[in-house]
Amino acid sequence: MCGVFGVFNNPSASKMTFLGLHALQHRGQESAGIAVSDGYDINLKLGSGLVTKAIKESDLEELRGDIAIGHVRYSTAGGSNIKNIQPFFAHFFGGSFAIAHNGNLVNARDIRYELEKNGAIFRSTSDTEVFVHLIAKSKEPPPSHIMLHKNDVEFLPLVFSAMKKVKGAYSLTILREKQLIAIRDPYGFRPLVLGKNKTGSYFVASETCAFDIVDAEYLRDIKPGEVLVIDDAGMRSYFPFEHTEKAEKCIFEFVYFARPDSLIFNDYVYGIRKEMGRQLAREYPIDADCVVPVLDSGMLAAKGYSEESGIPLEIGLIRNHYVGRSFIQPTQEIRDLSVKLKLNPVKEVIEGKRIIVIDDSIVRGTTSKKIVNMLKKAGAKEIHMLISSPPVIAPCYYGIDTPTKEELIANQMSIDEIKEFIGCDSLHYLSLEGMIEAAGKEKGFCTACFTENYPVL
C-alpha cells in the first residue's frame, strides 16, 4: 500500500510532488519522500509520518530542479523501519538514480539472498531495494525486438533486465539526472496514470486525484509491461516483455483502496463503487428503514444500495476525521480502541430502526463487531450487515496490506459464524461474480484475496 508520483519539466517540481503526495496520502501514512534533479544532481528528503510532517516547506526550497519523484508508504514488505523510507537513491557506474515503488515483489527474498551471498550490502529491509541492486548489476543486452533511442542505450537495458528478474507487482517512478521513467509490471496489478498540464509539464501518479491538485489533465494509463521514458527528446514507450500477460488489475483498488474521485484502470472509482452497492441490493433485498454507510469506505456502496432499493440513506454513524484509517496502529488493543475513536452512532437516526449497515470489506472483523455493538447500544431494532465485496480469505502478495491468513476472520469462520461473532441479525457479502461484473469483467482482475487464485507466486 503505497503511492507514487513523478513530474517532468516543472520549475516547482518538488512542490508539485509534495502536493501530489498529499492527494495520495490515503495510500500510505507511514512515511513520505521526494527526490528531485536539477539536471546534474539528485537530492532527496525523506521523513516519517504524513507528508506535511515528513517534508517541511523549508525542505522544498532546498529541493531545486525540474524533475522529481515522490512516494508515500504504508509498509507491506520490509516493516516500518526508517531505513525503508522511499524513494531509494543510488550511485552506480552509469550515474545515479532514485526509485519509488508501489507493489510487492514475490521473489525479492530469493533475489536478495543470492545477491547477499555474492557480497551485496543492503541498507533496508524493503523488497524495492532489490531493484536498485539488479539495475546496478545488470549486464544483459536489451531484448532484440527493442530499438532504443540514443538517450536510453545505457540505462534502459539495465532496467529491462531487472524487470525480467523480478516477479510480482510494481508500479514505479524512476528519476535520473535528466529523465523521468514510469514502469508498470506486465500484469498491471497496481494503477499508474500519465498526465500533462497546460505549461507542458508531464506527471505520473498512482491515481488521478494527484493530477487534480496540480491542475494536470489525465492523458492515459501507463500500460501493463510498459516502460515510459520522458526527457528533453520527448516521450518514448518500450515494452520489454515479448508476451503480454493476462491482465491482473487489483480489484481491491476499486473496492476500498483508491480514492473515489480518481480514475484508475481506465475507469472512475466512484461509479464502480456505487455499482457494487447496487449489485448488493439486487443480490440481497432486505426490508429495512434505512441504509447506513460505514464512513468513508462504505459510503458509495451504501448510496448505490439505497438508490437501487429505494430505502433512504442515513448518516447514522459519524466519522471523526482527526484519526487515520483504523489499521494504522499495529496492536490489536489499539486497533479495538481506534474504531471507537473513529465512529460514533447518531442515536436519533438509529433508535428503534431496522438498519442496513454497509461497509466495503471485513478483514479481521474488529470494525464490524464494534459497529454492531455501538448500534445496539444506540437502540437499533435490527442490524443487517452488508459488505460490498466477497469474504477476504487470503493475504495479498501484491501490495495491499492484509494480515496473515490466520488473522482473516473469513478464513477461520463460516459466514454464519462471523455473523454470530459480529452479533448482527444478518450478514451478507457481495458475490464474486457480482463484484467483477460491477467493476467491468473485461478489464481482467486479480481477485486473489477473495479466491486464493494467485497469478504469480
Residues that bind ligand AMP (CB under 6 A): 256, 294, 297, 325-327, 359-368, 400-402
| Maximum C-alpha span of the chain | 72
Q: How far is the CB of 283 from ligand AMP (least distance, A)?
A: 19
CB closer to ligand AMP out of 66 and 359: 359
Q: How far is the CB of 139 from ligand AMP (least distance, A)?
A: 39
Report, in Å, the least distance between residue 140 CB and ligand AMP: 36
Catalytic annotation present for 290: no
State in angstroms the smallest separation of the CB of 195 from ligand AMP: 26
Q: Minimum CB separation from ligand AMP for residue 346, in Å?
A: 18
The span from the CA of 171 to the CA of 225, in Å, is 10
CB of 372 to ligand AMP, least distance (A): 12
Q: Of the two residues 192 and 358, which places its CB atom closer to ligand AMP in the complex?
A: 358
Unique residue bearing C-alpha cell 493530477: 211
- In the bound state with ligand AMP, the residue whose beta carbon lies nearer, of 256 and 305, is 256
Q: Going by C-beta distance under 8 Å and a sequence separation of 6 or more, which residues neighbour residue 454?
A: 394, 397, 448
The residue among 76 and 86 lying less far from ligand AMP, judged by its C-beta, is: 76
Closer residue to ligand AMP (CB): 84 or 389: 389
Give the active site residue among 2, 209, 446, 449. Answer: 2
For the bound state, the minimum distance from the C-beta of residue 326 to ligand AMP, rounded and expressed in Å, comes to: 6
Residue closer to ligand AMP (CB basis): 177 or 407: 407
Nearer to ligand AMP, 112 or 303 (CB): 303
Catalytic residues: 2
